[in-house]
Amino acid sequence: MRASTKEQVESLGAKFLEVPMSEEERKANDGVYAKEMSDDYKRRQAELVAKQARQADIIITTALIPGKPAPQLVSAEVVADMKPGSVIVDLAAEAGGNCALTRTGEVVRTEQGVTIVGSINVPGLLAADASSLYAKNLLTFLSLMLSKDGFTLNLEDDLLAATLVTHDGQVRFPAAH
């Protein structure tokens, strides 16, 4: 639910759940990777997750807070209310899981027919596919700069402009300032 991941989630065709934040909460979390939220925020988050989970076929959770157990986002009660055949993929399983019923390293099926995937090191399970996708991404990115005539930088291209760190002796990448 971290706002900075919204674009990544939506680029994969998934629906991003966003808990409305007060201006104070927004300022406190601006530029912060992952921070534990207030009790009021957690309550609003739980209500939103419960409402959406009842309608979902698949839930993928990834929430982690460095140095702490994974925050529990999906309660046992919410899982019990989900449709039979629904699946929860808990990518935070190694840190205790975002779902109350996650068992680290296991795939379990509830009495209501909900499957909870608590596999560990999921990226490691996908090495061949991930390598292929990464290679395709690199090729696509490099094709923006390579042509039959050689190497050229189109500084009007949004992707190149956003990823170019330096050019002609100038620092261009905003994060480097």
Q: Give the β-pairing of 150-151 and 146-147.
A: antiparallel
User: Which one-letter DSSP state was computed for residue 99?
Assistant: B
Extents of the domains making up the chain: 3-124, 127-176
pLDDT tens for the chain, 177 residues: list them.
555 677 777 777 778 888 877 787 776 666 555 566 778 888 888 888 889 888 899 999 888 888 899 999 999 999 999 999 999 999 999 999 999 999 999 999 999 999 999 999 887 777 667 777 888 888 888 888 988 888 888 888 888 888 888 888 888 876 544
Query: CA-to-CA distance for 176 and 109, rounded, in angstroms?
Result: 47
What is the Cβ-side half-sphere exposure of residue 5, based on CA atoms within 13 angstroms? 17
Q: Which CATH architecture has domain 3-124?
A: 3-Layer(aba) Sandwich (3.40)
Give me the helices (H) in the chain, please: 6-11, 23-29, 39-53, 76-81, 122-125, 127-143, 158-163
